[in-house]
Structure 1
Amino acid sequence: MTPSEQRPVPWQRLILPSFLALPVLALLLGLGTWQLQRLAWKNGLLAELAAAQARGPVEATANPAPFAHITATGRFRPGAEAMLGLEVRGPVLGGSLVTVLDRPGQPPLLVERGWAPLEGGDQIQRPGGDVTVSGYARYADRRSLFAAKDDPANRRFYSFDPRALAAALGAPDAPPYALTVVVPGAAPLPSGLGSAPAPQRGPVPDAAHGFPSPGNPHLGYAVTWFGLALAWIAIFLLWARRRIRDA
Protein backbone atom coordinates (compact mmCIF):
# COMPACT_ATOMS: atom_id res chain seq x y z
CA MET A 1 0.00 0.00 0.00
CA THR A 2 1.44 3.37 -0.99
CA PRO A 3 1.77 6.24 1.48
CA SER A 4 -0.98 8.13 -0.34
CA GLU A 5 -3.33 5.20 0.13
CA GLN A 6 -2.56 5.04 3.89
CA ARG A 7 -3.24 8.76 4.42
CA PRO A 8 -6.76 9.26 5.91
CA VAL A 9 -9.33 11.30 4.05
CA PRO A 10 -9.30 14.86 5.55
CA TRP A 11 -12.92 14.82 6.68
CA GLN A 12 -12.26 11.67 8.70
CA ARG A 13 -10.24 13.80 11.08
CA LEU A 14 -13.51 15.53 12.08
CA ILE A 15 -15.41 12.44 13.18
CA LEU A 16 -14.25 12.34 16.81
CA PRO A 17 -14.41 16.15 17.35
CA SER A 18 -17.93 16.13 15.89
CA PHE A 19 -19.08 13.55 18.44
CA LEU A 20 -17.66 15.81 21.15
CA ALA A 21 -19.22 19.00 19.75
CA LEU A 22 -22.72 17.65 19.07
CA PRO A 23 -23.70 17.16 22.76
CA VAL A 24 -22.76 20.78 23.50
CA LEU A 25 -24.87 21.95 20.55
CA ALA A 26 -27.78 19.77 21.66
CA LEU A 27 -27.54 21.19 25.18
CA LEU A 28 -27.61 24.80 23.94
CA LEU A 29 -30.55 24.14 21.63
CA GLY A 30 -32.37 22.29 24.40
CA LEU A 31 -31.93 25.20 26.81
CA GLY A 32 -33.22 27.63 24.18
CA THR A 33 -36.26 25.45 23.52
CA TRP A 34 -36.94 25.15 27.25
CA GLN A 35 -36.90 28.94 27.59
CA LEU A 36 -39.42 29.24 24.76
CA GLN A 37 -41.67 26.83 26.64
CA ARG A 38 -41.20 28.91 29.79
CA LEU A 39 -42.06 32.02 27.79
CA ALA A 40 -45.38 30.51 26.68
CA TRP A 41 -46.14 29.45 30.26
CA LYS A 42 -45.28 32.89 31.68
CA ASN A 43 -47.36 34.69 29.04
CA GLY A 44 -50.32 32.51 29.99
CA LEU A 45 -49.77 33.19 33.69
CA LEU A 46 -49.57 36.94 33.14
CA ALA A 47 -52.77 36.83 31.09
CA GLU A 48 -54.53 34.90 33.88
CA LEU A 49 -53.34 37.39 36.50
CA ALA A 50 -54.47 40.36 34.41
CA ALA A 51 -57.89 38.78 33.93
CA ALA A 52 -58.21 37.97 37.64
CA GLN A 53 -57.26 41.49 38.68
CA ALA A 54 -59.73 42.95 36.21
CA ARG A 55 -62.57 40.78 37.60
CA GLY A 56 -62.13 42.04 41.13
CA PRO A 57 -60.92 40.37 44.34
CA VAL A 58 -61.94 36.95 45.61
CA GLU A 59 -61.92 35.77 49.20
CA ALA A 60 -58.44 34.91 50.46
CA THR A 61 -57.92 31.15 50.71
CA ALA A 62 -55.12 29.03 52.14
CA ASN A 63 -53.12 28.98 48.90
CA PRO A 64 -54.13 31.56 46.28
CA ALA A 65 -52.01 31.96 43.17
CA PRO A 66 -49.06 34.35 43.51
CA PHE A 67 -50.15 37.95 42.84
CA ALA A 68 -53.82 36.89 42.75
CA HIS A 69 -56.36 39.63 43.54
CA ILE A 70 -57.79 38.74 46.96
CA THR A 71 -59.76 40.29 49.80
CA ALA A 72 -60.27 39.51 53.49
CA THR A 73 -62.38 40.82 56.37
CA GLY A 74 -61.48 40.79 60.04
CA ARG A 75 -59.87 42.83 62.79
CA PHE A 76 -56.26 43.90 63.11
CA ARG A 77 -54.72 42.26 66.16
CA PRO A 78 -53.51 45.02 68.55
CA GLY A 79 -49.75 45.07 68.93
CA ALA A 80 -49.10 42.36 66.32
CA GLU A 81 -47.01 44.47 63.97
CA ALA A 82 -43.60 44.17 62.32
CA MET A 83 -41.56 46.34 59.98
CA LEU A 84 -40.29 44.91 56.70
CA GLY A 85 -37.41 46.37 54.71
CA LEU A 86 -36.21 49.96 54.57
CA GLU A 87 -37.38 52.83 52.36
CA VAL A 88 -36.68 56.53 52.61
CA ARG A 89 -39.41 59.01 51.72
CA GLY A 90 -38.13 62.55 51.82
CA PRO A 91 -36.16 62.83 55.06
CA VAL A 92 -38.08 60.02 56.77
CA LEU A 93 -36.83 56.44 57.07
CA GLY A 94 -39.53 53.82 57.06
CA GLY A 95 -40.53 50.37 55.94
CA SER A 96 -43.52 48.25 55.14
CA LEU A 97 -45.87 47.62 58.05
CA VAL A 98 -47.02 44.00 58.38
CA THR A 99 -49.75 43.10 60.85
CA VAL A 100 -52.06 40.20 61.69
CA LEU A 101 -55.70 40.19 60.60
CA ASP A 102 -57.87 37.95 62.76
CA ARG A 103 -60.74 36.51 60.74
CA PRO A 104 -63.81 34.88 62.30
CA GLY A 105 -63.83 31.14 61.74
CA GLN A 106 -60.62 31.23 59.68
CA PRO A 107 -56.88 31.25 60.34
CA PRO A 108 -55.30 34.67 60.88
CA LEU A 109 -53.81 36.36 57.84
CA LEU A 110 -50.69 38.46 57.44
CA VAL A 111 -51.50 41.84 55.91
CA GLU A 112 -48.84 44.11 54.44
CA ARG A 113 -50.53 47.44 54.98
CA GLY A 114 -47.93 49.69 53.30
CA TRP A 115 -45.15 52.16 54.04
CA ALA A 116 -44.92 53.65 57.51
CA PRO A 117 -42.18 55.58 59.36
CA LEU A 118 -39.90 53.70 61.72
CA GLU A 119 -40.33 56.45 64.30
CA GLY A 120 -43.54 58.20 65.15
CA GLY A 121 -45.90 55.26 65.49
CA ASP A 122 -48.66 57.61 66.66
CA GLN A 123 -49.10 58.67 63.01
CA ILE A 124 -50.12 55.15 61.97
CA GLN A 125 -53.84 54.59 61.53
CA ARG A 126 -54.99 51.49 63.38
CA PRO A 127 -58.70 50.79 62.84
CA GLY A 128 -60.23 49.12 65.87
CA GLY A 129 -63.30 47.50 64.30
CA ASP A 130 -63.96 45.21 61.40
CA VAL A 131 -62.04 46.10 58.26
CA THR A 132 -62.01 44.76 54.71
CA VAL A 133 -58.72 44.85 52.86
CA SER A 134 -57.96 43.89 49.28
CA GLY A 135 -54.82 43.56 47.25
CA TYR A 136 -52.62 40.73 46.00
CA ALA A 137 -51.14 37.56 47.46
CA ARG A 138 -47.44 37.95 48.17
CA TYR A 139 -45.35 34.87 48.81
CA ALA A 140 -41.85 34.61 50.25
CA ASP A 141 -39.01 36.40 48.51
CA ARG A 142 -35.79 34.65 47.59
CA ARG A 143 -33.32 35.73 50.24
CA SER A 144 -30.31 37.57 48.86
CA LEU A 145 -26.82 36.62 49.98
CA PHE A 146 -26.27 40.28 50.89
CA ALA A 147 -29.56 40.80 52.74
CA ALA A 148 -29.35 42.11 56.29
CA LYS A 149 -30.05 39.65 59.07
CA ASP A 150 -33.62 39.66 60.36
CA ASP A 151 -34.29 40.54 64.00
CA PRO A 152 -37.45 38.60 64.98
CA ALA A 153 -37.15 39.59 68.65
CA ASN A 154 -37.57 43.26 67.73
CA ARG A 155 -39.86 42.48 64.81
CA ARG A 156 -37.52 43.92 62.18
CA PHE A 157 -37.31 41.97 58.94
CA TYR A 158 -35.33 42.69 55.78
CA SER A 159 -36.39 39.70 53.69
CA PHE A 160 -40.03 38.73 53.26
CA ASP A 161 -40.43 35.37 54.98
CA PRO A 162 -44.13 34.88 55.86
CA ARG A 163 -43.53 31.96 58.19
CA ALA A 164 -40.89 33.81 60.20
CA LEU A 165 -43.06 36.92 60.33
CA ALA A 166 -46.12 34.94 61.44
CA ALA A 167 -44.14 33.20 64.18
CA ALA A 168 -42.74 36.51 65.46
CA LEU A 169 -46.25 38.01 65.54
CA GLY A 170 -47.81 35.09 67.40
CA ALA A 171 -49.74 33.72 64.43
CA PRO A 172 -47.93 30.51 63.45
CA ASP A 173 -51.13 29.11 61.92
CA ALA A 174 -51.32 31.89 59.31
CA PRO A 175 -51.02 30.73 55.67
CA PRO A 176 -47.56 31.19 54.10
CA TYR A 177 -48.26 34.44 52.29
CA ALA A 178 -49.43 37.98 52.97
CA LEU A 179 -52.20 40.08 51.52
CA THR A 180 -50.46 43.21 50.25
CA VAL A 181 -52.99 46.03 50.32
CA VAL A 182 -53.36 48.01 47.09
CA VAL A 183 -54.86 51.51 46.86
CA PRO A 184 -57.79 51.25 44.42
CA GLY A 185 -57.18 53.26 41.26
CA ALA A 186 -54.01 54.95 42.56
CA ALA A 187 -51.28 56.04 40.17
CA PRO A 188 -48.09 53.99 40.61
CA LEU A 189 -45.28 55.61 42.54
CA PRO A 190 -42.17 56.51 40.51
CA SER A 191 -39.51 53.84 40.37
CA GLY A 192 -36.21 53.15 38.69
CA LEU A 193 -32.72 54.62 38.71
CA GLY A 194 -32.64 58.27 39.68
CA SER A 195 -36.19 58.39 41.04
CA ALA A 196 -37.51 58.16 44.57
CA PRO A 197 -40.93 58.31 46.21
CA ALA A 198 -42.05 61.78 47.19
CA PRO A 199 -42.18 62.68 50.89
CA GLN A 200 -45.15 61.08 52.57
CA ARG A 201 -48.00 63.60 52.97
CA GLY A 202 -51.10 61.43 53.32
CA PRO A 203 -52.20 58.94 55.95
CA VAL A 204 -49.97 56.05 56.89
CA PRO A 205 -49.56 53.23 56.24
CA ASP A 206 -49.42 54.13 52.56
CA ALA A 207 -50.58 51.03 50.68
CA ALA A 208 -49.12 49.78 47.41
CA HIS A 209 -50.02 51.86 44.36
CA GLY A 210 -50.58 49.07 41.90
CA PHE A 211 -50.30 45.37 41.25
CA PRO A 212 -46.90 43.88 40.47
CA SER A 213 -46.39 41.05 38.04
CA PRO A 214 -43.75 38.35 37.69
CA GLY A 215 -40.81 39.18 35.48
CA ASN A 216 -40.76 37.66 32.01
CA PRO A 217 -37.14 37.47 30.81
CA HIS A 218 -37.51 34.12 29.01
CA LEU A 219 -37.44 35.53 25.47
CA GLY A 220 -34.08 37.13 26.20
CA TYR A 221 -32.81 33.87 27.69
CA ALA A 222 -33.96 31.93 24.63
CA VAL A 223 -32.24 34.37 22.27
CA THR A 224 -29.07 34.03 24.35
CA TRP A 225 -29.02 30.23 24.24
CA PHE A 226 -29.81 30.08 20.51
CA GLY A 227 -27.18 32.73 19.87
CA LEU A 228 -24.61 30.65 21.74
CA ALA A 229 -25.63 27.65 19.64
CA LEU A 230 -25.04 29.60 16.42
CA ALA A 231 -21.71 30.83 17.74
CA TRP A 232 -20.73 27.25 18.62
CA ILE A 233 -21.57 26.11 15.08
CA ALA A 234 -19.57 28.97 13.55
CA ILE A 235 -16.55 28.26 15.75
CA PHE A 236 -16.65 24.56 14.93
CA LEU A 237 -16.93 25.20 11.18
CA LEU A 238 -13.98 27.60 11.24
CA TRP A 239 -11.94 25.13 13.23
CA ALA A 240 -12.93 22.26 10.91
CA ARG A 241 -12.01 24.25 7.84
CA ARG A 242 -8.57 24.99 9.23
CA ARG A 243 -8.05 21.36 10.27
CA ILE A 244 -8.97 20.09 6.80
CA ARG A 245 -6.76 22.70 5.18
CA ASP A 246 -3.79 21.72 7.33
CA ALA A 247 -4.39 18.07 6.48
Structure 2
Amino acid sequence: MRKIFFPILLGIAGCAILLSLGVWQVQRLQWKTGILTEIDATIASDPVAIPADPDPATDQFRPVATQGRLKGTPLYVLVTIEGLGPGYRYVDALETEDGRTVMVDLGWVPLAQLGNPFTKFHVIDVTGNLHWPDDKDDWTPDPDPKGIWFTRDVPSIAAGLNAEQTLIVARDVQLLDLVTPLQSYPFQPLPLDSGVIKNDHLNYAITWFMLALVWVIMTGYLIFRIRQEDR
Protein backbone atom coordinates (compact mmCIF):
# COMPACT_ATOMS: atom_id res chain seq x y z
CA MET A 1 0.00 0.00 0.00
CA ARG A 2 2.86 2.36 0.78
CA LYS A 3 4.30 1.89 -2.70
CA ILE A 4 1.11 3.00 -4.43
CA PHE A 5 0.31 5.84 -2.02
CA PHE A 6 2.53 8.36 -3.78
CA PRO A 7 1.36 7.43 -7.33
CA ILE A 8 -2.27 7.75 -6.18
CA LEU A 9 -1.56 11.13 -4.59
CA LEU A 10 0.30 12.29 -7.69
CA GLY A 11 -2.49 11.05 -9.94
CA ILE A 12 -5.17 12.86 -7.96
CA ALA A 13 -3.18 16.10 -7.82
CA GLY A 14 -2.28 16.04 -11.52
CA CYS A 15 -5.82 15.19 -12.60
CA ALA A 16 -7.24 17.96 -10.40
CA ILE A 17 -4.88 20.52 -11.93
CA LEU A 18 -5.68 19.46 -15.50
CA LEU A 19 -9.42 19.42 -14.86
CA SER A 20 -9.26 22.87 -13.27
CA LEU A 21 -7.45 24.19 -16.34
CA GLY A 22 -10.16 22.68 -18.56
CA VAL A 23 -12.93 24.25 -16.47
CA TRP A 24 -11.09 27.59 -16.61
CA GLN A 25 -11.02 27.40 -20.41
CA VAL A 26 -14.77 26.65 -20.47
CA GLN A 27 -15.32 29.78 -18.38
CA ARG A 28 -13.09 31.72 -20.77
CA LEU A 29 -15.13 30.35 -23.68
CA GLN A 30 -18.36 31.67 -22.13
CA TRP A 31 -16.73 35.05 -21.50
CA LYS A 32 -15.32 35.23 -25.05
CA THR A 33 -18.64 34.21 -26.61
CA GLY A 34 -20.32 37.09 -24.79
CA ILE A 35 -17.68 39.52 -26.05
CA LEU A 36 -18.10 38.30 -29.64
CA THR A 37 -21.87 38.66 -29.39
CA GLU A 38 -21.41 42.27 -28.29
CA ILE A 39 -18.99 42.90 -31.17
CA ASP A 40 -21.46 41.50 -33.71
CA ALA A 41 -24.16 43.74 -32.26
CA THR A 42 -21.85 46.75 -32.57
CA ILE A 43 -20.93 45.93 -36.16
CA ALA A 44 -24.58 45.58 -37.18
CA SER A 45 -25.79 48.77 -35.44
CA ASP A 46 -26.78 51.93 -37.32
CA PRO A 47 -23.86 53.76 -38.96
CA VAL A 48 -22.77 57.21 -37.79
CA ALA A 49 -20.41 59.86 -39.14
CA ILE A 50 -16.70 59.16 -38.83
CA PRO A 51 -15.55 60.45 -35.40
CA ALA A 52 -13.37 63.54 -35.51
CA ASP A 53 -10.52 61.74 -33.75
CA PRO A 54 -11.10 57.99 -33.96
CA ASP A 55 -9.66 55.94 -31.11
CA PRO A 56 -8.67 52.31 -31.89
CA ALA A 57 -9.60 51.31 -28.34
CA THR A 58 -13.13 52.74 -28.26
CA ASP A 59 -14.03 53.01 -31.96
CA GLN A 60 -12.93 49.54 -33.12
CA PHE A 61 -15.76 48.02 -35.26
CA ARG A 62 -17.83 51.24 -35.07
CA PRO A 63 -20.20 51.39 -38.08
CA VAL A 64 -19.78 54.56 -40.13
CA ALA A 65 -21.09 56.06 -43.36
CA THR A 66 -19.54 58.75 -45.52
CA GLN A 67 -19.24 60.07 -49.06
CA GLY A 68 -16.14 61.10 -50.94
CA ARG A 69 -13.91 60.84 -53.96
CA LEU A 70 -11.42 58.00 -54.35
CA LYS A 71 -7.88 59.00 -55.25
CA GLY A 72 -7.41 55.98 -57.52
CA THR A 73 -3.92 55.18 -56.18
CA PRO A 74 -4.71 51.94 -54.35
CA LEU A 75 -2.56 49.53 -52.44
CA TYR A 76 -3.07 45.79 -52.85
CA VAL A 77 -3.00 43.49 -49.80
CA LEU A 78 -2.48 39.85 -50.74
CA VAL A 79 -5.14 37.59 -49.21
CA THR A 80 -6.78 34.23 -49.78
CA ILE A 81 -10.50 34.07 -49.03
CA GLU A 82 -12.36 30.80 -48.61
CA GLY A 83 -14.74 30.36 -51.52
CA LEU A 84 -13.02 33.09 -53.56
CA GLY A 85 -9.41 31.98 -53.69
CA PRO A 86 -6.26 34.12 -53.85
CA GLY A 87 -6.55 37.80 -54.61
CA TYR A 88 -6.09 41.24 -53.12
CA ARG A 89 -7.81 43.57 -50.73
CA TYR A 90 -8.18 46.81 -52.67
CA VAL A 91 -7.35 49.66 -50.27
CA ASP A 92 -7.61 53.24 -51.52
CA ALA A 93 -7.60 56.74 -50.06
CA LEU A 94 -10.95 58.50 -49.85
CA GLU A 95 -11.22 62.28 -49.78
CA THR A 96 -14.42 62.93 -47.83
CA GLU A 97 -16.76 65.87 -48.28
CA ASP A 98 -15.53 67.47 -45.09
CA GLY A 99 -11.90 67.58 -46.30
CA ARG A 100 -10.50 64.50 -44.58
CA THR A 101 -8.54 61.75 -46.25
CA VAL A 102 -9.25 58.31 -44.82
CA MET A 103 -8.59 54.79 -46.07
CA VAL A 104 -11.25 52.41 -47.35
CA ASP A 105 -10.92 48.66 -47.85
CA LEU A 106 -13.20 48.24 -50.88
CA GLY A 107 -13.10 44.45 -50.89
CA TRP A 108 -11.56 41.54 -52.73
CA VAL A 109 -10.41 41.42 -56.34
CA PRO A 110 -8.82 38.45 -58.17
CA LEU A 111 -5.13 38.40 -58.93
CA ALA A 112 -5.73 39.51 -62.53
CA GLN A 113 -7.09 42.86 -61.29
CA LEU A 114 -3.67 43.97 -60.06
CA GLY A 115 -2.94 47.46 -61.42
CA ASN A 116 -6.46 48.13 -62.65
CA PRO A 117 -7.15 51.78 -61.62
CA PHE A 118 -10.94 51.32 -61.60
CA THR A 119 -11.45 53.61 -58.62
CA LYS A 120 -9.71 56.64 -60.09
CA PHE A 121 -11.78 59.75 -59.39
CA HIS A 122 -14.96 57.80 -58.60
CA VAL A 123 -17.31 59.36 -56.05
CA ILE A 124 -18.78 56.81 -53.68
CA ASP A 125 -21.16 56.48 -50.78
CA VAL A 126 -19.64 53.92 -48.43
CA THR A 127 -21.00 52.21 -45.33
CA GLY A 128 -18.65 50.06 -43.30
CA ASN A 129 -16.85 49.63 -40.02
CA LEU A 130 -13.75 51.20 -38.57
CA HIS A 131 -11.00 48.68 -38.09
CA TRP A 132 -7.40 48.62 -36.89
CA PRO A 133 -6.41 45.03 -37.77
CA ASP A 134 -3.53 43.40 -35.95
CA ASP A 135 -2.31 41.26 -38.85
CA LYS A 136 1.40 41.98 -38.77
CA ASP A 137 3.97 39.86 -36.95
CA ASP A 138 7.74 39.41 -36.97
CA TRP A 139 7.56 37.13 -40.03
CA THR A 140 5.48 39.44 -42.22
CA PRO A 141 7.59 40.55 -45.22
CA ASP A 142 7.84 44.15 -46.29
CA PRO A 143 5.75 45.30 -49.28
CA ASP A 144 7.32 44.40 -52.60
CA PRO A 145 8.26 47.04 -55.23
CA LYS A 146 5.03 46.40 -57.19
CA GLY A 147 3.00 47.79 -54.33
CA ILE A 148 1.76 44.43 -53.05
CA TRP A 149 1.33 44.29 -49.28
CA PHE A 150 1.04 41.23 -47.09
CA THR A 151 -0.86 42.70 -44.16
CA ARG A 152 -3.09 45.65 -43.38
CA ASP A 153 -0.56 47.55 -41.32
CA VAL A 154 -2.63 50.69 -40.79
CA PRO A 155 0.19 53.15 -39.95
CA SER A 156 2.33 52.04 -42.91
CA ILE A 157 -0.55 51.93 -45.38
CA ALA A 158 -1.72 55.36 -44.19
CA ALA A 159 1.74 56.72 -44.88
CA GLY A 160 1.75 55.08 -48.32
CA LEU A 161 -1.63 56.59 -49.21
CA ASN A 162 -0.94 59.93 -47.51
CA ALA A 163 -4.05 59.46 -45.39
CA GLU A 164 -4.96 59.53 -41.72
CA GLN A 165 -4.76 56.28 -39.79
CA THR A 166 -8.48 55.56 -40.16
CA LEU A 167 -9.51 52.47 -42.09
CA ILE A 168 -13.09 51.74 -43.16
CA VAL A 169 -13.81 48.16 -44.13
CA ALA A 170 -16.61 48.54 -46.66
CA ARG A 171 -19.91 46.75 -46.17
CA ASP A 172 -21.87 48.52 -48.89
CA VAL A 173 -20.61 50.86 -51.63
CA GLN A 174 -22.68 52.93 -54.04
CA LEU A 175 -21.09 54.62 -57.05
CA LEU A 176 -22.28 58.22 -57.37
CA ASP A 177 -19.94 59.42 -60.08
CA LEU A 178 -21.69 60.98 -63.11
CA VAL A 179 -18.54 62.38 -64.73
CA THR A 180 -16.97 59.10 -65.77
CA PRO A 181 -19.14 56.24 -67.08
CA LEU A 182 -20.89 54.31 -64.34
CA GLN A 183 -19.68 50.76 -63.93
CA SER A 184 -20.88 47.90 -61.79
CA TYR A 185 -19.08 47.54 -58.49
CA PRO A 186 -16.14 45.23 -59.31
CA PHE A 187 -15.13 44.19 -55.79
CA GLN A 188 -16.38 41.49 -53.46
CA PRO A 189 -16.94 43.25 -50.12
CA LEU A 190 -15.36 41.56 -47.12
CA PRO A 191 -17.41 43.06 -44.28
CA LEU A 192 -16.32 42.64 -40.71
CA ASP A 193 -17.79 40.15 -38.28
CA SER A 194 -16.61 38.59 -35.04
CA GLY A 195 -14.87 35.87 -37.03
CA VAL A 196 -11.84 38.15 -37.31
CA ILE A 197 -11.20 37.46 -33.61
CA LYS A 198 -9.77 34.10 -32.59
CA ASN A 199 -11.78 32.01 -30.15
CA ASP A 200 -9.85 28.80 -29.47
CA HIS A 201 -10.96 28.27 -25.87
CA LEU A 202 -13.09 25.23 -26.72
CA ASN A 203 -10.08 23.51 -28.28
CA TYR A 204 -7.98 24.41 -25.25
CA ALA A 205 -10.64 23.01 -22.89
CA ILE A 206 -10.86 19.74 -24.83
CA THR A 207 -7.06 19.46 -24.76
CA TRP A 208 -6.89 19.86 -20.96
CA PHE A 209 -9.72 17.37 -20.40
CA MET A 210 -8.04 14.84 -22.70
CA LEU A 211 -4.76 15.29 -20.85
CA ALA A 212 -6.60 14.67 -17.57
CA LEU A 213 -7.97 11.42 -19.02
CA VAL A 214 -4.50 10.37 -20.18
CA TRP A 215 -3.13 11.22 -16.74
CA VAL A 216 -5.73 8.98 -15.08
CA ILE A 217 -4.93 6.11 -17.46
CA MET A 218 -1.19 6.47 -16.91
CA THR A 219 -1.66 6.61 -13.14
CA GLY A 220 -3.83 3.50 -13.23
CA TYR A 221 -1.27 1.69 -15.36
CA LEU A 222 1.54 2.67 -12.98
CA ILE A 223 -0.39 1.38 -9.98
CA PHE A 224 -1.15 -1.83 -11.86
CA ARG A 225 2.55 -2.36 -12.62
CA ILE A 226 3.55 -1.73 -9.00
CA ARG A 227 1.04 -4.26 -7.73
CA GLN A 228 2.12 -6.77 -10.34
CA GLU A 229 5.74 -6.43 -9.20
CA ASP A 230 4.74 -6.90 -5.57
CA ARG A 231 3.02 -10.15 -6.46
Match of 1:170 among 162, 170, 182: 162
Q: Over aligned residue pairs, what C-alpha RMSD do you find?
A: 3.6
Write out per-residue CA displacement over residues 19-65 of structure 1, whole angstroms, 9 at most, x where no aligned residue.
Answer: 65556434422431232122112211222133224432244432266
Check 1:53–1:94 CA distance in 2 against 1; reply closer, same or farther (3 A cut): closer
Match of 1:181 among 159, 170, 173: 170
Q: Is the radius of gyration larger for structure 1 or structure 2?
A: 1
Q: Does 1:218 align with 2:201?
A: yes
Whether the 8 Å contact between 1:101 and 1:108 is mirrored in structure 2 is yes
Aligned to 2:177: none
Check 1:105–1:203 CA distance in 2 against 1; reply closer, same or farther (3 A cut): closer
Aligned to 2:33: 43
Match of 1:120 among 116, 123, 143: 116
Q: How does 1:20-39 map to 2 (within 5 A)?
A: 21=11, 24-39=14-29
Deviation at 1:157, TM superposition (A): 0.3
Write out per-residue CA displacement over residues 173-202 of structure 1, whole angstroms, 9 at most, x where no aligned residue.
Answer: 514xx3210138xxxxxxxxxxxxxxxx94
Deviation at 1:226, TM superposition (A): 0.9
Aligned residue type for 1:216: N
Aligned to 1:235: 218
Check 1:73–1:183 CA distance in 2 against 1; reply closer, same or farther (3 A cut): closer
Deviation at 1:242, TM superposition (A): 2.1
Aligned to 1:205: 187
* Larger CA deviation: 208-217 vs 38-47: 208-217
SS in 2 for 1:151: coil
Deviation at 1:75, TM superposition (A): 3.2
Note the residue ranges of structure 1 that are not aligned, 5 or more in a row: 1-9, 185-200
SS in 1 for 2:142: coil
Whether the 8 Å contact between 1:70 and 1:134 is mirrored in structure 2 is yes
Q: Aligned partners of 1:142 and 1:27: how far apart in 2?
A: 35
Whether the 8 Å contact between 1:28 and 1:225 is mirrored in structure 2 is yes
State the number of aligned residues: 210
SS in 2 for 1:206: coil
Q: Aligned partners of 1:224 and 1:242: how far apart in 2?
A: 27
Note the residue ranges of structure 2 that are not aligned, 5 or more in a row: 174-182
Q: Aligned partners of 2:226 and 2:59: how far apart in 1?
A: 54
